[in-house]
Structure 1
Amino acid sequence: MKFDEFSGHQVIEAGPYIVTEAEVLEFANRFDPQWFHTDQRSAEQGRWGGLIASGWHTCSIAMRLAYDAALSDSGSWGSPGLDYLKWPEPVRPGDFLTFRATVIDTRRSRSVPSLGIVKWRWQLFNQHQTDVFDTVANSFFEVN
């Protein structure tokens, strides 16, 4: 999507994305090798009652779905950051995740007129409609 295609209160959806155990283990072993992400037997005895995906893996899935839904061929110029980041519930192998982005605001940059700024809330929901990821992202887009 181009900057001028975004508007306040717009909802953009994508998915589902199916989380596999192999993917959870691969990501965790490379980037977040805490036992509850990498050791099924120990994880079953832990607080979550089984293996869970790294929150950073969950962020990566959200990014993939945002790309598929809105950022491919968009004129995106990255992001200065997030307002907040929450993982209200864990993501587990076998979950089907859907992405929802709600545009909060769009505006042109005052300091760089060729950039537009989109403030949008990204959420992921599992197959039970449980919120498993929640953030507000600020994204730069070129303005034609």
Structure 2
Amino acid sequence: MKQALYLDDLKVGDTFVSERYQLSTEKIKEFAREFDPQVFHCDEQLAEDTFFKGLAASGWHTASITMKLLTESLPFAHGIIGAGGEINWPLPTRPDDILYVKSTIKEIKPSKSKPNQALLLVESETLNQKNEVCQKLTAKLLSFRKSEG
């Protein structure tokens, strides 16, 4: 397990890269059957005649994989606590894609009312094995100082 990082340890420009995660047709279908049962996520044949022109993972599946990879690559003390964000899926995630996440701290806004914490603006790109961006998440994350004040 990586050493927990506090607000005091972080600066704008810090970048974190996750391990890899391999997707499969079965994982895509399994997630979709439970959470996003649409033909382009569940059936290869029917998916051919859709916007995606083939089987594609749900954006929410990609987001879930991203979250797993973030919990392993952003070792923030007290966990990854979100306070809002924006998500985009410029390319579909496909069977057999190997995903990883590259996260960069873009901004640190210390709290005026709570001096022991700040909001970090973190940009996380979920990339496939071709280094194509499948998801871009810009999130506000809470970070804490090592000690009060």
Q: Could you state the TM-score of these two structures normalised by the residue count of structure 2? A: 0.87
Q: Which moved more, 1:86-95 or 1:29-38?
A: 29-38
Q: Does 1:80 align with 2:83?
A: yes
Contact 2:71-2:80 at 8 Å conserved across structures? no
Q: Given the alignment of the two structures, is residue 23 of structure 1 paired with residue 27 of structure 2, yes or no?
A: yes
Residue of structure 1 equivalent to 2:144: 142
Match of 1:64 in 2: 68
**Residue 27 of structure 1: CA displacement?**
1.1
Matches within 5 A, 1:9-48: 9-48=13-52
Q: CA deviation at 1:79?
A: 1.4
User: Quick one: distance in 1 between partners of 2:6 and 2:64?
Assistant: 22
Deviation at 1:142, TM superposition (A): 2.4
Unmatched segments (≥5 aa) in structure 2:
none
Pick aligned residue for 2:108 from 106, 109, 130: 106
Q: Deviations over 1:112-135 (max 9, x none)?
A: 223222111000111111111012
Tell me, yes or no, if the aligned pair for 1:3 and 1:75 is still in contact at 8 Å: no
CA contact (8 A) 1:116 1:141 kept: yes
CA pair 63-77 structure 1, distance change in 2 beyond 3 A: closer
Shift of 1:50: 1.4
Select 2:58's aligned residue among 54, 67, 75: 54
Percent of aligned pairs sharing the same letter: 29
Q: Could you tell me how far apart the structure 1 residues matched to 2:27 and 2:101 are?
A: 18
Q: Is the 8 A contact 2:7 2:118 kept in 1?
A: yes
Q: Which amino acid aligns with 2:36?
A: D
Gaps in structure 1 of 5+ consecutive residues: none
Q: Cα RMSD (Å) of the superposition?
A: 1.5
Count of residues paired in the alignment: 142
Question: Aligned partner of 1:105: which letter?
Answer: E
**Aligned partner of 1:118: which letter?**
L
Letter of the 1:141 counterpart:
S
